[in-house]
Amino acid sequence: MSADTNPVPANELNANPPVDGAELIRFEKVTKRFGDNTVLDELDFRVDSGKHVTLIGPSGSGKTTILRLLMTLAKPDAGTITVAGDRLFPAGEKEVREVRKKIGMVFQQFNLFPNMSVLRNVTEAPVTVLGMSKDEAETRARELLDLVGLADKCDERPSRLSGGQQQRVAIARALAMRPQVLLLDEVTSALDPELVAGVLDVLRDIAHTTDITMLCVTHEMNFARDISDQVLMFDSGHVIESGPPEKIFSDPEQDRTREFLSAVL
């Protein structure tokens, strides 16, 4: 599973390889409320193509909500969201379906299909959503399962795997759609501590050997430091500070960032 043995060439993980410096995700004045609780308040931010961006900040500051808006699991109350130049919000159902194909997400809970084999978990969406042939989807799924170190588990049911292995299947499943951006929502927080490193190693490998754009919410600060081009510190629905990891983790500008980091590091 090192860069040398990576079975999937970097430029094949992503259907539309990034153009340097191009904007992939843009939020403009995005507001999201749950009842009286304004979780995001006219939020502006962008993620450039090919970059790895990590959102850090206290619980309840709105990080997961950003990923859920991108997955259209929730709708903003105002503002615009674009992905690769196409509107995700506001947009019609057909446009949303097209934009959604560009986005893969790995959740805290692995959400695998329990009654399908590991292989079928990875082939299902490429066959049913992208119309890929079963043979092509299986060949690709085997390559991706090899990439995440699970080539020998193709025929198992998810329930026979450890949580860490299930999460690695979920990563392969997200990559099978050849998304332009991979969203990672605290993907190790439901795992037993001894299983965390294996999942983070796979993600580090993907981050370092491919050009896929990543937007990541994590409490794993060492991982964030390793993979990020940019770290955004969130507080109460606002980006209060952003910069390269070496700046944010070693010499933050804001007291709030310093307090947060001293509590979690």
Q: Would you tell me which residues interact with ligand ADP (CB under 6 A)?
A: 34, 37, 39, 57, 59-65
Residue type, position 174, single letter = A
Cβ distance 211 to 50 under 8 Å? yes
Q: Cβ closer to ligand ADP: 63 or 238?
A: 63
Q: Which residues are CB-contacts of 194 (< 8 A; sequence separation ≥ 6)?
A: none
CB of 18 to ligand ADP, least distance (A): 26
CB of 137 to ligand ADP, least distance (A): 33
Q: Cβ closer to ligand ADP: 75 or 160?
A: 75
CB of 39 to ligand ADP, least distance (A): 4
Residue type, position 45, single letter = F
Q: Count Cβ atoms within 10 A of the Cβ of residue 156 and give its class: 0-12 exposed, 13-18 middle, 19 or more buried.
A: middle
The Cα 44–Cα 140 span in angstroms is 37
The Cα 175–Cα 122 span in angstroms is 9
Q: Count Cβ atoms within 10 A of the Cβ of residue 159 and give its class: 0-12 exposed, 13-18 middle, 19 or more buried.
A: exposed
Q: Cβ closer to ligand ADP: 17 or 60?
A: 60
CB of 241 to ligand ADP, least distance (A): 15
Q: Which residues are CB-contacts of 265 (< 8 A; sequence separation ≥ 6)?
A: 221, 249
What is the 8-class DSSP label of residue 65?
H
CB of 40 to ligand ADP, least distance (A): 8
CB of 157 to ligand ADP, least distance (A): 30
The Cα 217–Cα 234 span in angstroms is 11
Q: Cβ closer to ligand ADP: 60 or 163?
A: 60
Q: Cβ closer to ligand ADP: 63 or 100?
A: 63
Dig out the tokens for 39 from the structure: 């979780």
Q: Cβ closer to ligand ADP: 39 or 184?
A: 39
